[in-house]
């Protein structure tokens, strides 16, 4: 048997949902470039693609949008659960608890697309309710006139978001819908492979996402952007960091050895917005100057901007609190997780890897 610590490099499933190629800088959703989807399509359109293996026509899109809007409201018992949780409970723990509580008998095996839509639609409402409760603010119910992403922002802030803000966050949502067999996706498929229900599989995924090695927020990038503050400070700040041997946050990636396609897409959206937004003008200039200096100080290393850089820029542009970064990531990834759970059920085999025992073996007969 082959041993690979952390299962790194081991193929554990075949999938049509998505494909990540870090060497080539490719991210594909159901045969489409994720970058193109993020720039040209809505979150609902891409969710339909992920769940149904096709982009929707106008009738299908309208039906999905309506169904998602109808599934946003929180049941009274979920409100009761949250009202009885300690106010200092971490957001991801609250989300895991509430999703678990949704798992009644209607979520039996096999999983369905309706279940996926329900879980995806209600997740932003849970996040928004708990965020406002923790901050002593009144709960804002979903706005049925807004799409999935705009409604999420509205429930958090209480204000109708600007077109630019919705465009930026929608691109982020689309680019984090799916990313191959990562820890949380694998967790969801392992649980689903036992013929457990979709809610149980998604709770496992949330538990994995909660870990800082997987769902960690790009807070370091935001701190960097805030410290730089203006174009006049860029070169001095970056040179100081590089000459002291410090890492520049938001550049380089473990998987992508060339351009991160998610960062490229968010950059395009940032450039589209920059004409009317000084913040995006600044982050584009910081990226340009930083890449130039990285090439000067580390020639031949080919370090590229990663998705965390532009994700942080998007989050800060809409004043999204740092505590909401990982939950927001989770709200988008709910589509990918549920698609993998559905795919697992279509050709199921329980996951049962082996382990190498390296402990003491007693002598026979003693």
Among all residues, which ones are annotated catalytic? 253, 308
Q: Which of 267, 284, 193, 191 minimizes the C-alpha distance to 231?
A: 284
Distances (CA, A) of 346 to 198, 294, 335: 13, 47, 17
**In the beta sheet, which residues pair with residue 147?**
none
Omega of the bond prior to 282 within 30 degrees of 0, cis?
no
Q: Is 170:83 a contact under the CB 8 Å cutoff? A: no
Residue 242 CA to its chain's centroid (Å): 30
């Amino acid at each position: 048997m082959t041993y690979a610590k952390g299962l790194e490099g081991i193929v554990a499933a075949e999938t049509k949902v998505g494909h990540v190629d870090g060497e080539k800088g490719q991210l594909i959703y159901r045969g489409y470039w994720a970058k193109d989807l993020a720039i040209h399509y809505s979150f609902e359109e891409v969710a339909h693609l992920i769940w149904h293996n096709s982009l929707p026509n106008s009738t299908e899109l309208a039906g999905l949008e309506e169904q998602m809007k109808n599934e946003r409201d929180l049941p009274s018992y979920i409100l009761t659960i949250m009202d009885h949780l300690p106010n200092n409970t971490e957001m991801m723990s609250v989300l895991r608890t509430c999703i678990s509580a949704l798992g009644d008998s209607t979520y039996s095996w096999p999983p369905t697309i309706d279940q996926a839509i329900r879980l995806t639609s209600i997740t932003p409402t849970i996040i928004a309710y708990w965020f406002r409760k923790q901050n002593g603010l009144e709960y804002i119910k979903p706005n049925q006139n807004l799409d999935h992403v705009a409604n999420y922002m509205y429930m958090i802030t209480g204000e109708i978001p600007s077109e630019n803000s919705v465009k930026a966050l929608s691109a982020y949502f689309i680019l984090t819908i799916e990313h191959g067999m990562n820890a949380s996706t694998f967790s969801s498929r392992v649980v689903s492979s036992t013929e457990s229900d979709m809610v149980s599989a998604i709770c496992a995924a949330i538990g994995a996402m909660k870990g800082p090695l997987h769902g960690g927020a790009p807070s370091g990038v935001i701190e960097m952007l805030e410290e730089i503050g203006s174009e006049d400070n860029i070169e001095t700040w970056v040179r100081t960091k590089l000459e002291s041997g410090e890492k520049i946050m938001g550049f380089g990636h473990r998987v992508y050895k060339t351009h991160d396609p998610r960062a490229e897409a968010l950059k395009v959206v940032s450039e589209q917005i920059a004409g009317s937004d000084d913040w995006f003008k600044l982050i584009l200039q910081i990226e340009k100057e930083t890449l130039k200096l990285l090439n000067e100080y580390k020639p031949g290393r080919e370090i590229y901007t990663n998705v965390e850089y532009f994700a942080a820029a998007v989050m800060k542009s809409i004043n999204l609190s740092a505590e909401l970064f990982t939950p927001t990531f989770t709200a988008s990834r709910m589509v990918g997780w549920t698609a993998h759970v559905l795919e697992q059920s279509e050709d199921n085999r329980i996951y049962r890897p082996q382990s190498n025992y390296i402990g003491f073996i007693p002598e026979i007969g003693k």
